[in-house]
Amino acid sequence: MTTSTKKIIIFIGPPGSGKGTQAKKIAEKYHYYHLSTGDILRNLDKNSQSLTSEDIKVLDFMKKGELVPDADIIDLVKNAFTRFYNNRGVVLDGAIRNIEQAETMQKFFEAQNLLKEIVVIDIYLSDEQALDRLSKRQVCPNCGYIVSGEESKKNLTVCPRCSHQLKARADDSPEIIKKRITQQGNVALEPIREFYKKLGILRGVDGNQAVSDVARAIEENICS
């Protein structure tokens, strides 16, 4: 890590572009906190006995492939950020999915005098490629491991990390994938890209290359 490595790395990109795959790598390498809104929601779902009626309503949006309401997501992101940033660095993975979320979080960072720390990494992938990847995605429900494109050719059935049975994610059924790509794909991303482009903090990376090449391209873009 150099002194100019940004401390707030925001990943945007269509569902399946590899935000989670790459955010985990960066967080591990730089010892940053990995703030994945998708993972936080899925973990909440695992503790089904202690769910409030409000939690159940929120999770229902995710299960249907819809965006969770902004107020809930923004609270969740601000709380996790405040808890874990602490001069350590945070990777925001999927935390920004519409213009309202982008604007609100930008004001939040501004109020904390952190604007200079932000870089936004846009992982490009066509909606067609995203559809193909999500239809094949396998994850470990125990440790959250995402089977890579290369590993998926080996037809793994258990997690290479913890040996738990691998599964497709509950929101990776064909019908829900299509809905997510319509609502969160490249058309929906355009206003967010425009917003960050105008601020001069958007960096694009081609997501249609090997995981290690995408990672290398990201690293070239997280230093000022």
Q: Which residues bind ligand B4P (CB under 6 A)?
A: 13, 15-21, 36-38, 41, 61-62, 65, 67-68, 73, 94-95, 97, 101, 133, 137, 146-149, 171, 180, 207, 210-211, 214
Closer Cβ to ligand B4P, 87 or 107, answer by number: 107
CA neighbor of 11 nearest in space, from 217, 210, 179, 173:
217
Please write down the long-range contacts of 37-46, taking CB distance under 8 Å and 24 or more positions apart: 37/68, 37/73, 37/76, 37/77, 37/93, 37/94, 37/95, 38/62, 38/93, 38/94, 39/93, 39/144, 40/76, 40/80, 41/68, 42/169
Q: How far is the CB of 4 from ligand B4P (least distance, A)?
A: 26
Q: Both tokens of residue 17? A: 């572009």
Closer Cβ to ligand B4P, 89 or 207, answer by number: 207
Q: How far is the CB of 89 from ligand B4P (least distance, A)?
A: 19
- Residue 14, CA distances (Å) to 80, 117, 121, 212 in order: 23, 24, 12, 19
Closer Cβ to ligand B4P, 213 or 224, answer by number: 213
CA neighbor of 134 nearest in space, from 124, 153, 149:
149
135 three-class SS: helix
Closer Cβ to ligand B4P, 2 or 181, answer by number: 181
Closer Cβ to ligand B4P, 36 or 106, answer by number: 36
Q: How far is the CB of 70 from ligand B4P (least distance, A)?
A: 7
Q: How far is the CB of 130 from ligand B4P (least distance, A)?
A: 8
Q: How far is the CB of 85 from ligand B4P (least distance, A)?
A: 17
Closer Cβ to ligand B4P, 48 or 224, answer by number: 48
How far apart are alpha carbons 169 and 156 in whole angstroms? Answer: 15
Please tell me the chain's helix, strand, coil percentages from 3-state DSSP, rounded to the nearest 5: 50, 15, 35
Q: How far is the CB of 3 from ligand B4P (least distance, A)?
A: 29
Cβ-proximal residue to ligand B4P, closest one: 38
